[in-house]
Amino acid sequence: MADDQQRIESHLDERRVFPPPVEFAARARVASLEEYERLRDRARDDPEGFWRELAHTLDWLEPFHSVLEESPPFVKWFTGGKLNLSANCLDRHLAERGDRRAIVWEGEPGDARTLTYRELHAEVCRAAGALRSLGVSAGDRVAIYLPMIPELAISLLACARIGATHSVIFGGFSAEAIRDRVNDAGARVIITADGGWRRGKVVALKVNVDAALDGRDGHGCPTVEKVLVVTRTKTEITMRADRDVAWADALAKGGDGSPAALDAEHPLFILYTSGSTGKPKGVLHATGGYSVWAGYTTRVVFDLRDDDVYWCTADIGWVTGHSYVVYGPLLNGATTLMYEGAPDSPDKDRFWQMIARHRVSIFYTAPTAIRAFMRWGDEFPARHDLSSLRLLGTVGEPINPEAWMWYRRAIGGDRCPIVDTWWQTETGGILISPLPGATPTKPGSCTRPLPGIEADVVDRQGVSCPPNVGGFLVIKRPWPSMLRTIFGDPDRYVKSYFSEISIGGKPVYFAGDGARKDADGYFWVMGRVDDVINVAGHRLGTMEIESALVGHPDVAEAAVVGRPDELKGQAVVAFVTLRGGKTVTPEIVAALGAHVVKEIGALARPEEIRFTDALPKTRSGKIMRRLLKEIAAGGQVRGDVTTLEDMNVLNRLAQQGSDEE
Residues within the interface to ligand WTA (CB under 6 A): 273, 318-320, 395-398, 420-425, 446, 511-513, 525, 527-528, 534, 539
User: Please, what is the minimum distance in Å from the beta carbon of residue 289 to ligand WTA?
Assistant: 17
User: Please, what is the minimum distance in Å from the beta carbon of residue 500 to ligand WTA?
Assistant: 14
User: Please, what is the minimum distance in Å from the beta carbon of residue 85 to ligand WTA?
Assistant: 19
Please say which residue, 171 or 512, places its beta carbon nearer to ligand WTA. 512
Query: Residue 75: how many CB atoms within 10 A of its CB?
Result: 19
- 189 beta partners: 142, 226
Please say which residue, 98 or 527, places its beta carbon nearer to ligand WTA. 527
Give dist(CA 273, CA 283) in Å, integer: 7
Give dist(CA 120, CA 101) in Å, integer: 9
Q: Are 514 and 104 in contact (CB under 8 A)?
A: no
Please say which residue, 293 or 423, places its beta carbon nearer to ligand WTA. 423
Please say which residue, 64 or 296, places its beta carbon nearer to ligand WTA. 296
Please say which residue, 255 or 393, places its beta carbon nearer to ligand WTA. 393
Please say which residue, 178 or 431, places its beta carbon nearer to ligand WTA. 431
Please say which residue, 264 or 319, places its beta carbon nearer to ligand WTA. 319
Give dist(CA 409, CA 391) in Å, integer: 12
The residue whose Cβ lies closest to ligand WTA is 425
Please say which residue, 133 or 276, places its beta carbon nearer to ligand WTA. 276
Q: Are 475 and 429 in contact (CB under 8 A)?
A: no
Give dist(CA 124, CA 341) in Å, integer: 23
Alpha helices of 326-366 — where are they, by DSSP H? Answer: 328-331, 350-358
User: Please, what is the minimum distance in Å from the beta carbon of residue 287 to ligand WTA?
Assistant: 20
Q: Which residues contact 393 (CB under 8 A, 6 or more apart)?
A: 301, 302, 312, 362, 363, 364, 365, 418, 419, 420, 421
User: Please, what is the minimum distance in Å from the beta carbon of residue 513 to ligand WTA?
Assistant: 5
Residue 138: φ, ψ to 5°: -55, 135
User: Please, what is the minimum distance in Å from the beta carbon of residue 10 to ligand WTA?
Assistant: 12
Q: Which residues contact 78 (CB under 8 A, 6 or more apart)?
A: 55, 64, 66, 67, 264, 265, 288, 289, 292, 480
Please say which residue, 255 or 512, places its beta carbon nearer to ligand WTA. 512
User: Please, what is the minimum distance in Å from the beta carbon of residue 361 to ligand WTA?
Assistant: 21
DSSP 149-217: SHHHHHHHHHHHHHTPEEEE--TTB-HHHHHHHHHHHT-SEEEEES-EEETTEEE-HHHHHHHHHHTTT
Prior bond to 147 cis, omega within 30? Answer: no
User: Please, what is the minimum distance in Å from the beta carbon of residue 363 to ligand WTA?
Assistant: 15
Which amino acid is located at 175 in the chain? A
Q: Are 247 and 184 in contact (CB under 8 A)?
A: no
Per DSSP bridges, beta strands 644-645 and 608-612 are: parallel
Query: Residue 350: how many CB atoms within 10 A of its CB?
Result: 18
User: Please, what is the minimum distance in Å from the beta carbon of residue 523 to ligand WTA?
Assistant: 9
Please say which residue, 341 or 512, places its beta carbon nearer to ligand WTA. 512
Q: Are 144 and 190 in contact (CB under 8 A)?
A: yes
User: Please, what is the minimum distance in Å from the beta carbon of residue 446 to ligand WTA?
Assistant: 5
